[in-house]
Amino acid sequence: MRLGRRRPFADLIARQLDLFGADNADLLRRIEAAERAYHAAGGAESTPAEATHLWGDVVDLVEEGTELLADTRDHYTWNHLGADAQDDYIAAFNLAVTKRLPRFGLEIENR
């Protein structure tokens, strides 16, 4: 039997992201609605200024979600891990966000 690469934080991070999704379901719905509004604004009746404003709404909501995820990551990092494990956890968390919640993945590493 071949064991896969050990991912010591995988279960923890999966639970943290599950909790994020449950606690922030309204935010996730608002992001989806804002994205739909932006894409719908591509019609002839919309002006570039309207589309820009709608995209700004998407960016603001994604930034809000990214901040919440970074707060979760940082809280756990500083309150539950020794210095030797912090970098590994942060890298694993950021990768999990990028894979599971890609709209937040672009900015999570910058937080």
Q: How far apart are CA 79 and CA 57, in angstroms?
A: 33
For 1-14, how does the pLDDT look when each residue is reduced to its tens digit (9 = 90+)?
444 456 889 999 99
The pLDDT tens digits of the residues spanning 11-67 come to 999 999 999 999 999 999 999 999 999 998 876 677 888 989 999 999 999 999 999
Domain boundaries, given as residue ranges, for the chain: 25-108
Q: What is the pLDDT of residues 58-92, one digit of tens each?
A: 999 999 999 999 999 999 999 999 999 999 999 99
CB atoms within 10 A of CB 102: 9
pLDDT of residue 44: 61
- Please tell me whether the overall predicted TM-score, pTM, comes out greater than 0.85 for this model: yes
